């Protein structure tokens, strides 16, 4: 039951609480069919994304039809010019129907959710220079400690971290002030320095806001709008006088987002081959890649010690480790297991809420996450 059924039931029940379906039984059946049924591998998150993309198709078709119509008009003009005997060898240039485009956009209403920026050979990133706001050294160190508590900044190297620290601007809010409002466009990410803020969300038009969580010093919010160019998903209001640090979209995209993407690419393939994570879908592995932290241990150094309380689960990226355990009181510990790249340890203390059952020592220089 614990090894097979719990891994299926727990995520399913959590997803049900999050979505609050009108018919839970129907939801459970659909969830099990999509995630564990005998069918091509399509997980629940991918299904949601597919439904979103289907809604975007009519908008794309409308734009394509508009461009096709304008191109057709230009071809007709070109044909008329040729028939009149024009000998001009230059390529014809026509203006895009800006009025038509504006009318279409006006009909469509406010900007809807769009995907994040794509960059490639056809769309090069421009040269970027982050803004810099002078701060006292003690402020820089305090802010550095705060960023260390926010996982999305954990993968920045020292140079990138200093750029981000310089680009952050202090924002002061009084109790009752709204920092971000659900549905608005978002241009900043915020890190809480002092104070307390409340996050609420309206799930249906006309319904009362639902309290989701409170933000404390060290917490960060507002990154979703920057990552995916979507409107604000919730409202954040200051419950007391608060000091925040704001990071603009361009700095976030060029420094933090790029660094997180490199980290994700580095870890996602590795996580696919870890046996205990085989039931995870690609979205869940992606979120895990964002959250894990890399550590190094030298040969002979303890990673965990027998009898300690454990709150960390380790996966070996490179190197080897050995497990030792005291089998008889008064006698030295003996080797009970060896670990290599792709192996994991430390999960027992987390799953069963027990002290560490053995020592784990680095047999060689060890890289773990």
Q: Are strands 295-297 and 366-368 parallel, antiparallel or unpaired?
A: antiparallel
Is residue 93's pLDDT more than 80? no
Per CATH, domain 137-258 is 2.60.120.10? yes
* Same fold? 137-258, 260-368: yes
Estimate the crossing angle of helix 282-291 against helix 258-272, to 10 degrees.
120
Instruction: Determine how many CB atoms are found less than 10 A away from the CB of residue 297.
Output: 20
Per-residue confidence band for 141, with pLDDT thresholds at 50, 70 and 90? confident
Token readout for 77 is 């003009």
Residue entry with tokens 């895009």: 96
- The tens digit of pLDDT for each residue in 158-185 reads 778 888 889 999 999 999 999 999 999 8
The residues with which 120 forms a beta bridge, in sequence order, are 123
Q: Which class is 260-368 in CATH?
A: mainly beta
Is residue 15's pLDDT more than 50? yes
Residue entry with tokens 């690419």: 265
Compute the radius of gyration of the chain from its Cα atoms: 27
Q: pTM for the whole thing? A: 0.42
- The tens digit of pLDDT for each residue in 302-315 reads 999 999 988 899 99
Percent of the chain with pLDDT over 90: 23
Q: Domain ranges in the chain?
A: 5-42, 137-258, 260-368
């Amino acid at each position: 039951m614990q090894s097979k059924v719990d891994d299926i039931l727990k995520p399913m029940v959590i997803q049900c609480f999050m979505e609050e379906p009108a018919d839970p039984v129907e939801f459970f059946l659909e969830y099990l069919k999509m995630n564990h049924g005998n069918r091509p591998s399509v997980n629940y998150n991918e299904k949601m994304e597919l439904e979103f993309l289907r809604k975007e198709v009519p908008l794309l078709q409308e734009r394509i039809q508009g461009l096709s119509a304008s191109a057709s008009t230009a071809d007709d003009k070109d044909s008329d010019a040729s028939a009149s005997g024009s000998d001009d060898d230059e390529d014809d240039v026509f203006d895009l129907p800006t009025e038509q485009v504006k009318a279409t956009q006006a009909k469509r209403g406010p900007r809807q959710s769009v995907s994040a920026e794509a960059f490639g050979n056809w769309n090069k990133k421009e040269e970027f220079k982050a803004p810099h706001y002078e701060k006292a050294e003690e402020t820089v160190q305090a802010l550095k400690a705060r960023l260390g508590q926010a996982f999305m900044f954990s993968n920045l190297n020292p140079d990138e971290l200093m750029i981000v620290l310089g680009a952050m601007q202090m924002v002061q809010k009084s109790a009752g002030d709204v920092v971000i409002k659900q549905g608005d466009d978002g241009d900043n990410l915020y890190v809480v320095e002092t104070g307390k803020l409340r996050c609420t969300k309206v799930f249906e038009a006309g319904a009362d806001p639902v309290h989701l969580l409170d933000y404390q010093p060290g917490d960060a919010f507002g990154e979703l709008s920057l990552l995916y160019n979507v409107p604000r998903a919730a409202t954040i209001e200051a419950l007391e006088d608060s000091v925040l640090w704001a990071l603009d979209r361009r700095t976030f995209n060029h420094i933090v987002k790029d660094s997180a993407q490199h980290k994700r690419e580095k870890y996602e393939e590795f996580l696919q081959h870890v046996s205990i994570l085989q039931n995870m879908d690609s979205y869940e592995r992606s979120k895990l890649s964002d959250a894990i932290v890399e550590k190094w241990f030298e040969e002979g150094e303890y990673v965990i010690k027998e009898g300690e309380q454990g709150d960390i689960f380790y996966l070996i990226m490179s190197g080897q480790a050995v497990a030792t355990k005291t089998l008889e009181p008064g006698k030295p510990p003996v080797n009970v297991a060896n670990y290599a790249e792709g192996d994991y340890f430390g999960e027992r203390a987390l799953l069963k809420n027990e002290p560490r059952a053995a020592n784990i020592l680095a047999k060689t220089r060890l890289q773990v996450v």
